[in-house]
Structure 1
Amino acid sequence: MRKWLAGFAMLALVACTQSPQSGIEVKDAWSPAAPPGAAAIAVYAKIVVHKDDTLLKVSSSRAAVAEVHNTFEEGGMMRMRPVGQLDLKRGEAISLQPGGMHLMLMGVSEPLAPGAALDVTFHFANAGDVTATAEVTAPGEPAH
């Protein structure tokens, strides 16, 4: 009985310390609903890095172009600029959030109403493709 309990305790400990096989988790993805006629929407998420990697690009079947952007202030105005590749280090948790780094989907094929789902694929050098489903929220409504 003791051997069984010791084995079970060891298994439980290993299960708690293992990271996902791909080395990357993309979680809590969401997007605020854009006003009618908008051709661009923002997507936010959290990237948890378990192994060093590089985010090469992002894509979505709902948009002609998808890019990681960073928001910054210049001359008293808030501006956005594409980031390009993003080096990720083990142990980091990158927050893609309003007012900071985020995804921009441009040339959106159709408007997305609150409650809709939006798939975004993150293309990593080592982990490969990781697809996240973003929930579209009503304007001013926080992500669930």
Structure 2
Amino acid sequence: MKKPVLFIWILTVSALLSVGKVYANAPSLEVEGYARETPPGAPMSAVYLSLHNLGEQKRLLAAVELPGNQEAEADLHTTEYREGISRMRPLKQVAIAAGERLQMAPGGVHLMIRGLRLRAGDSLPLRLVFTDGFSLEIQVPVVGRDKTGKDHHHHHG
């Protein structure tokens, strides 16, 4: 079974600002990602995205929203290791350099989802909000965990 993959291409003509105007200079983005199933008894889960900035300008991801869900929260975080202890630290924004890829991963930059039960096989709608006012709505698949608690997904070349 192949890992569910989501590719979204945003063409400069079709990118819309949250105010509804066409944003003619919006750089293209390629987005791939998945959400982890919420572990039993846990109040939160994580989402990992790969954001490839195909444009010529740096992009700053400032927020992630959960459209249509007033109870849950999504926050940007990173994991820091100090004195042998890992701690999550919230981030105000994440930069994606022109032509570069931001790879969110366990132990690094990721999205924390609180207040929402994610089940394997579901799809999670997200709105990515950038500092320039550009926003992008995507859906990522929710993947399960095996009995060891590790992510249960596969990478195929």
Q: TM-score range by the shorter chain?
A: 0.7 to 0.9
Structure 1 residues 76 and 88: alpha-carbon distance in aligned structure 2, compared to 1, 3 A threshold? same
SS of equivalent residue, structure 1 residue 118? strand
Q: Residues 20-59 of structure 1 correspond to what in structure 2 (within 5 A)?
A: 20-21=11-12, 22-49=26-53, 50=55, 51-59=57-65
Q: Which runs of 5+ in 2 are unaligned?
A: 1-9, 13-25, 146-150
Higher normalized strand content (fraction of residues)? 1
Give 4+ residue runs of structure 1 displaced > 6 Å after superposition: none
Q: Which runs of 5+ in 1 are unaligned?
A: 1-18
- Per the TM alignment, residue 57 of structure 1 is displaced from its structure 2 partner at its CA by 1.0
- Per the TM alignment, residue 53 of structure 1 is displaced from its structure 2 partner at its CA by 2.1
Structure 1 residues 40 and 88: alpha-carbon distance in aligned structure 2, compared to 1, 3 A threshold? same
Greater Rg over alpha carbons, structure = 1
Residues 1:80 and 2:84 are matched in the alignment:
no
TM-score (norm: length of structure 2):
0.70
The percent of aligned pairs where both chains have the same amino acid is 27
Structure 1 residues 143 and 137: alpha-carbon distance in aligned structure 2, compared to 1, 3 A threshold? farther
Amino acid at match of 1:67: D
CA distance in 2, matches of 1:78, 1:113: 26
Please give the per-residue CA displacement for 1:59-82, whole angstroms capped at 9, x wherever unaligned.
114453211111110121111101
- Contact 1:72–1:78 (8 Å) recurs in 2: yes
CA distance in 1, matches of 2:28, 2:42: 31
- Structure 2 counterpart of 1:131: 137
Higher normalized helix content (fraction of residues)? 1
Count of aligned residue pairs for this structure pair: 124
SS of equivalent residue, structure 1 residue 97? coil
TM-score (norm: length of structure 1):
0.76
Amino acid at match of 2:108: G
Residues 1:96 and 2:104 are matched in the alignment:
yes
